[in-house]
Structure 1
Amino acid sequence: MNTISLQSELENLVKQNNVQLNLPISSLIEKSLMRGEGSLTSTGALSVETGAYTGRSPKDKFIVNESSITDKIEWGPVNQPIEKEVFAALYQKVLEHLGKKEELFVSDGFAGADQTYRLPLKVINEFAWHQVFARQLFIRPNGLEDKREENAFTIVSAPTFKADPVVDGTRSEAFVIVSFEERVVLIGGTEYAGEMKKSIFSVMNFLLPEQDVLSMHCSANTGREGDVALFFGLSGTGKTTLSADPNRSLIGDDEHGWSSNGVFNIEGGCYAKCVNLSQEKEPQIWNAIRFGSVLENVVVDPQTGQPNYDDISLTENTRAAYPIELIPNALTPSVSGHPNTIIFLTADAFGVLPPISKLTKEQAMYHFLSGYTSKLAGTERGVTSPEATFSTCFGAPFLPLPAARYAEMLGEKIDQHDVNVYLVNTGWSGGPYGVGNRMNLKYTRAMVQAALSGELRSVETVTDEFFGLHIPTHCPGVPDHVLQPRDTWEDKDAYDAKAKELATNFKDNFLKFNAVSEKIKNAGPQ
């Protein structure tokens, strides 16, 4: 790979007459409308559709196999290698493709609200609406920063360039490739804007641990007294809902770093799921979807311009992208102190995990590595009954380094800052999915509040016989019997059978973590 020539070609591309540099959001939205990329909804949000790709394409994601990083990456199905020469040839084609466009949209930004660990970004798009997305999701410069351009990562996004797998060495027409030596994210063949956001998160998941900063796929908020809480959880567990608390300030809804200074947001915006969104249940998100926001793949009434958040005919993965400033109680800048409380969220469709339990440090590391929740029937093709699903560190698709590295850092920080860790089940109670009922949101909020306020620290606990979890015997605002999952089942034998089934799933999944200590392995179901 001729690094100098590729860098110079990229620099020449950005200097072309067709480049629109750092346009204001209003101008970008106007461009999007003129170019037929989208339409405005009744609230002024820009509504777009992303075509065949309505979500990430994880099997089309690659990391360039470069000598400086090859021994550090956890190569495998998540981090697939692509050779430097193959990448260079494809990179050259994409630059030539973009050079012929009538217009290109380029902006500067950052990832990382803590300036000590901030990553400068340059984003190059052929779609104006992609540039709106990037400007709202990444941190916007205020003109006072040290840009450190020599350290910048560049996103080059060319959705209308379709790769030829036979010639270009990709798996399909779509590709998302990260080169750490070139400091480039190369995206093509897909219009799904989330690839830009998650690619930079993957980059930060490599760069931050190298600076002794734990990168985390979680939301975060802070109380009036300065106490900080982290919420980890996969899709559908309530991470966004429970962290959006009118009595607490939002640090961020999805990606954070935890340094020696405290917690900071990696992003400058939010990317919320919109399926079944309602003003009553999630007013902050509802009210943020206005001019300057982007709606992806939401069905909109062509006559009234009103979005229908219950219509999933385009995809269940409907999304809204908006700057964090549109959340009324967002913390600006998105930097705070060290966490006092960590909450792992799971939606257990088996109905056997306690609604809340306190974890030891080793249990916290075990459940962090496990990243458990349930897939429900109908959410994916072929899923006909609830299935246990595990996503390492609650973010497996975005972790370039071995999982144990992140877990060890978490354990060290829990010890260092005396953090209380809880596992909260927002799933089913009184029986599995189809028999029991979804956990009452009012109870879940009460349990989270009790955890954050410290009320559960001195409460007596009992140890669950299947999972070894420490279950509080009492929680303000929650009936005592609800806290003990076995007590909510009419058929105790059926509960025992389901609990054994899920415990076995946990144990089978954890077999892949050979590098962790026996103490952590023994912190799971026995």
Structure 2
Amino acid sequence: MTQFYADMGINMERPNNRIFVDSPRSFLIQETVARGIGKLTKDGALVVETGKHTGRSANDRYIVRDEVTENTIWWENNFKEMTPDTFAKLKSHIINYLNQDRDLFITERSVGADEVHNLGARLVTTNPNHALFSTHLFRDKVRDFNENDFTILHAPELQLDPNEFGLRSETAVVTCLKSKLTIIAGTLYAGEIKKSMFAAMNYLLPESNIMPTHSGASRLENGEVSVFFGLSGTGKTTLSTDEGTFLIGDDEHGISEAGTFNFEGGCYAKTYKLSKEGEPEIYKASNRFGSLLENVILDENTGLVDFYDKTLSENGRASYPLEFIEELETSSRGDIPKHVFFLSADAFGVLPPVAKLTKEQAMFYFVLGYTAKLAGTEIGVKEPTATFSSCFGAPFMLRHPSEYAKLLGEYIDKLGFNVWMVNTGWTGGAYGTGQRFPLNITRQIIRNIQANNLDKVETEQDPIFGLHIPKMVGEIPSTILNPQKSWEDQEAYTKKAQELADSFHKQMSTFGNFYEENISGAPTFGK
């Protein structure tokens, strides 16, 4: 183990400093507090702040362009290129920084709850709280590492010179798929660590005909599995951690003919407006010794956290290991999904709260990836804004969306699961006029589907989007189920819906052949 890091250039002999390898969580928490990086709440949770980076640095993501990635990366996505020479220079700079007068924390973990399809993940960081985070989000090491496993060099407080390395800013998240190395510098936001390995899995798994997904997953008592696709803030964690279901995972999964498996060893839940009444499992897991809270407000006099205070960020986060969840599928695996949900927070209030999708619609809306970019999820986002993120996770999908959509279509045919669109956004008007769907309404919809109560319910087809909307879902009023009926101004609804449908076509036309071949799944307006 020591030889690997020495060969990389890291000085493992430090007379004046220490290197901690796979330290216990209690020790990492103690070190975080002792170094003045974090504080403990009354309940024992560790609270830290991440400075100006309270979300992902989406515009500072780089991929090394070489013979491995030249024809396999979806370069039209928001991936910036870095040459092999510049990356080598950056790597040397980072290693020199890590070798300076400071302690290091190393963890060796795994990604993927599958005996074959897993990835080793080494983290070398200067901060104990980030090492703690990796013990939450990555899994226990399951085998000896080899040349196919990844290493993350993490220097969160190092401010890079943009001119020296051709960067946009002093921050960089750079992955070299050839050398299996990721460098993260200039950001304390821990989410960059987990997402770097998610992206690596997304790149590798399609080669084995496994579909990587940005999704939460849970199973019912009868073993039936539900998978929830969606961007951050659309409800993946909340809905996959619902009472009465057993959590498989809240964010990243693989789907194959063998079933569903979680990539992670923990959860990374949003905390803004977190309450014991609304999300009891997440609340309990977040308020205990061992959990890590980012960018929440701590009252040092009482030791209590105010989850309704967004002074630091609306993207406050809690990370904790899966075992903190009581209703848990301990294997982190499940059967082939029975129901797949596409969660979209529609800021325009024109999509129905639920619609069943045909295979063609599923492929279309999967590549479209429409939702609202929610406040705080990324730097500079202050209010919900319409956005498109292919596969409901474009920043982490390194290959062209059509590759993932092809797998989705094949699995719908082979495995026969149902695909539903669920709008967790607005109703009765657009953002600022209407209101957001109450969580209890969304939960009622999901629970009715999971109980297979909608298998034979009559539907009506939306004239603009072509979606099949159930006429009855439990006790939910029909005026809520059909978005047009929830608007007072019918002309305003039609205009807004047509504008959104038109934007769908405009967005999808950028995918050329895929759009032309799959237009049958598109909204009816504008074709």
TM-score bucket of the superposed structures, by smaller chain: over 0.9
Residues 379 and 501 of structure 1, relative CA distance in 2, 3 Å threshold: farther
1:492 alignment partner in structure 2: 490
Aligned residues with identical type, % of pairs: 45
> Which range moved further: 218-227 or 77-86?
77-86
Q: Deviation of residue 207 (structure 1)? A: 0.8
Q: Deviation of residue 7 (structure 1)? A: 7.0
Matched, 1:506 2:504: yes
Pairwise mapping of residues 436-515 of structure 1 onto structure 2 (< 5 A)? 436-515=434-513
Q: Secondary structure at the match of 2:365?
A: helix
Q: Aligned partners of 2:12, 2:72: CA distance in 1, in Å?
A: 32
1:115 alignment partner in structure 2: 115
Q: Kindly provide the amino acid, as one letter, of the partner of residue 93 in structure 2.
A: K
Match of 1:352 among 337, 350, 353: 350
Q: Secondary structure at the match of 1:342?
A: strand
8 Å CA contact 1:101–1:126 kept in 2: the answer is no
Q: Deviation of residue 102 (structure 1)? A: 3.0
Residues 384 and 305 of structure 1, relative CA distance in 2, 3 Å threshold: closer
Q: Aligned partners of 1:284, 1:62: CA distance in 2, in Å?
A: 36
2:184 alignment partner in structure 1: 187
1:53 alignment partner in structure 2: 53
Pairwise mapping of residues 170-209 of structure 1 onto structure 2 (< 5 A)? 170-209=167-206
2:215 alignment partner in structure 1: 218
**TM-score, normalized by length of structure 1?**
0.94
Residues 171 and 491 of structure 1, relative CA distance in 2, 3 Å threshold: closer
Question: 1:450-508 deviations in whole A, cap 9, x for unaligned?
Answer: 21222212112111100000111222222233222222223222221121121112112
8 Å CA contact 1:271–1:319 kept in 2: the answer is yes
Residues 256 and 13 of structure 1, relative CA distance in 2, 3 Å threshold: farther
Q: Kindly provide the amino acid, as one letter, of the partner of residue 246 in structure 2.
A: S
Residues 410 and 379 of structure 1, relative CA distance in 2, 3 Å threshold: closer
Q: Kindly provide the amino acid, as one letter, of the partner of residue 501 in structure 2.
A: A
Q: Aligned partners of 1:135, 1:454: CA distance in 2, in Å?
A: 37
1:239 alignment partner in structure 2: 236
Q: Aligned partners of 1:379, 1:35: CA distance in 2, in Å?
A: 28
Pairwise mapping of residues 39-438 of structure 1 onto structure 2 (< 5 A)? 39-141=39-141, 145-289=142-286, 290-375=288-373, 387-438=385-436
Q: Aligned partners of 1:409, 1:92: CA distance in 2, in Å?
A: 39
How many residue pairs match? The answer is 519
Runs (5+) with no aligned partner, structure 2: none
Q: Kindly provide the amino acid, as one letter, of the partner of residue 125 in structure 1.
A: T
Residues 377 and 13 of structure 1, relative CA distance in 2, 3 Å threshold: closer
> Which range moved further: 165-174 or 179-188?
165-174
Q: Secondary structure at the match of 1:149?
A: coil
Q: Aligned partners of 1:522, 1:184: CA distance in 2, in Å?
A: 41
Runs (5+) with no aligned partner, structure 1: none
CA RMSD of aligned residues (A): 2.2
8 Å CA contact 2:91–2:183 kept in 1: the answer is yes
**TM-score, normalized by length of structure 2?**
0.94
Q: Deviation of residue 444 (structure 1)? A: 2.0
> Which range moved further: 449-458 or 353-362?
449-458
Q: Aligned partners of 1:452, 1:511: CA distance in 2, in Å?
A: 34
Q: Aligned partners of 1:16, 1:411: CA distance in 2, in Å?
A: 54
Q: Aligned partners of 2:412, 2:125: CA distance in 1, in Å?
A: 41
Q: Aligned partners of 1:381, 1:399: CA distance in 2, in Å?
A: 20
Q: Aligned partners of 1:453, 1:184: CA distance in 2, in Å?
A: 44
Q: Secondary structure at the match of 1:499?
A: helix
Question: 1:375-434 deviations in whole A, cap 9, x for unaligned?
Answer: 579998998986422111110111110011111111111111111111111222233333
Q: Deviation of residue 187 (structure 1)? A: 1.1
Q: Secondary structure at the match of 1:204?
A: helix
